[in-house]
Amino acid sequence: MFDALTDRLSGVFDRLSGRGVLSDKDIDEALREVRVALLEADVALPVVREFIAKAKEQATGEAVIRSVRPADQVVKITYDGLVDMLGGEGEPEGLNLSMNPPTVILMAGLQGSGKTTTAGKLALRLGKERKRVLLASLDTRRPAAMEQLATLAKQAGVDSLPIVQGQSAPDIARRALSSAKLQGFDVVILDTAGRTTLDEQMMTEAAEIARIANPSETLLVADSLTGQDAVRTAKAFHERLPLTGLVLTRADGDGRGGAALSMRAVTGLPIKFLGVSEKLEGLDAFDARRVAGRILGQGDVVALVEKAAQEIDAAKAEAMAKKLAKGQFDLDMMAEQLKQMKRMGGMEGLMGLLPGVQKMKKQIAESGVTDKMVDRQAAIISSMTKAERKKPDILQASRKRRIAAGAGVDVADVNRLLKQHRQMADAFKSLSRDGGKGFAKMAGM
């Protein structure tokens, strides 16, 4: 689906790679070409704009790594931008199954989007995970759709709800839920009726079913070959239904792919799966890093730049540990710490790495430290001059006012940050009294 985009981007990178040092103008030009490539691939304009703005910031920021070729850095910046656009670094989200079964999964989408096929694909996947799955079609207007689902259920080796003629969609949903409870199914997949176009009645019915069934997942199935129409469909459904994720079908087709790329940014919904063939096995968990890597076709370059960046992080951490051991802790070091924290996935991500997380998470939540605050703190520090960051003592009222205005915060926020910095500095100082042994331990040296 992304072949044309891949070709265009490789052209851009090839032209850069002949050169040694890249000027700002070179980078600007390359990003302009990346922009055109994305637009030609049919990525929505606001999404492209945001992508380019972030890429520029990253390219001119301090993230320049001397040990890799500048052209490779542009590849990495583009890769990071794509990953971001597609939903971020995290592991594929998969399905959110509720703690007390039966979990309800509601499928929504236009007729022909691949909704019923996807219901069958999910049933097969869950069946392989040893879940007992019940498929139920709520498409009362098309008996053929009900039979299609029953056939798919057989192929997937799961059960389907016996068809009773003349029942309304909400009644079928209720019957599916009570059967599932009585018979001990783990998952019920409800396939709602689709229409060929967006339609009020379809939306009202789907919304009513969502209210009755209280699904853990409400997935919108969209055909990636329909381009920007798929994006518009997703937006319209999202306004009416509490969607939890997207499934993009026909990713095996040769559409331009840009709609798939915009979908996440436009709707804010995670892309959970890609349909990659007509077969029941043809459903891939969506992994932003893998898709971005495939689009760029430059996996080794990305790995190389990442490794170089990690080495720099390690070197920075070591330098910081040495300074701390001497009892030094200025605001630049604090900013670096905040950045490291963000890189590890922010407060949430950091907590996820630690044992006994749940309790910690609660404490963090209660202490009111959030990622937003971390961002604000970083903004305050970056509004200071170099001298101020080295020697916060020189910060008098007028300087604080200037900094607050620059960071878009109140002077009270600046004061709070300075207090926090002092507390951290004191803590580090007392640790360093034992000759830095505490730090050596902290830094793993």
* 140 contributes a contact to ligand GDP by CB under 6 A: no
Within 212-271, the residues that bind ligand GDP by CB under 6 A are 249-250, 252
- Nearer Cβ to ligand GDP, position 78 or 249? 249
Contacts with ligand GDP, 96-125, as mask; x by CB under 6 A: -------------x-xxxxxxx--------
- Nearer Cβ to ligand GDP, position 84 or 191? 191
**Minimum distance from CB of 279 to ligand GDP (Å)?**
8
Among 70, 81, 245, 282, binds ligand GDP (CB under 6 A): 282
The helix/strand/coil state of 275 is strand
90 annotated ligand-binding residue: no
How many amino acids of this chain bind ligand GDP (CB under 6 A)?
17
- Torsion from C-alpha of 237, 231, 85, 365, nearest 10 degrees: -10
State both tokens at 137. Answer: 């079609």
Among 10, 167, 228, 277, binds ligand GDP (CB under 6 A): 277
- Measure the CA–CA gap between 24 and 30, rounded to whole angstroms: 10
Among 102, 275, 392, 436, binds ligand GDP (CB under 6 A): 275
- Nearer Cβ to ligand GDP, position 69 or 115? 115
184 annotated ligand-binding residue: no
Among 81, 87, 127, 194, binds ligand GDP (CB under 6 A): 194
115 annotated ligand-binding residue: yes
Residue pair 318/443 in contact (Cβ under 8 Å)? The answer is yes
User: How many other C-beta atoms lie within 10 A of the C-beta of residue 147?
Assistant: 13
**Minimum distance from CB of 176 to ligand GDP (Å)?**
17
Choices 5-13, 275-283, 404-412, 418-426; region in contact with ligand GDP by CB under 6 A:
275-283
**Minimum distance from CB of 118 to ligand GDP (Å)?**
6
Contacts with ligand GDP, 380-419, as mask; x by CB under 6 A: ----------------------------------------
- Measure the CA–CA gap between 329 and 405, rounded to whole angstroms: 25
**Minimum distance from CB of 172 to ligand GDP (Å)?**
16
35 annotated ligand-binding residue: no
| Residues whose CB falls within 8 Å of the CB of residue 156, separated by 6 or more in sequence, listed in order | 120, 121, 123, 124, 127, 133, 135, 280
Give the length of the chain: 445
Long-range pairs, 372-376, Cβ under 8 A, ≥24: 374/338, 374/341, 374/342, 374/346, 374/347, 375/342, 376/407, 376/409, 376/413
407 annotated ligand-binding residue: no
- Nearer Cβ to ligand GDP, position 114 or 436? 114
- Residue that is written with structure tokens 């070179």 in the block: 26
**Minimum distance from CB of 119 to ligand GDP (Å)?**
8
67 annotated ligand-binding residue: no
345 annotated ligand-binding residue: no
State both tokens at 337. Answer: 């710490």
- Nearer Cβ to ligand GDP, position 114 or 257? 114
Of 293, 290, 235, give the one whose Cα is nearest residue 264. Answer: 235
DSSP characters over 289-337? HHHHHHHHT-HHHHHHHHHHHHHHHHHHHHHHHHHHHTT---HHHHHHH
Residue pair 193/140 in contact (Cβ under 8 Å)? The answer is yes
Pairing of strands 283-285, 271-275: antiparallel
Residue nearest to ligand GDP (CB): 275
Binding residues for GTP: 109-116, 191-195, 249-252
Binding residues: 109-116, 191-195, 249-252
Which residues contact ligand GDP by CB under 6 A?
109, 111-117, 194, 249-250, 252, 275-278, 282
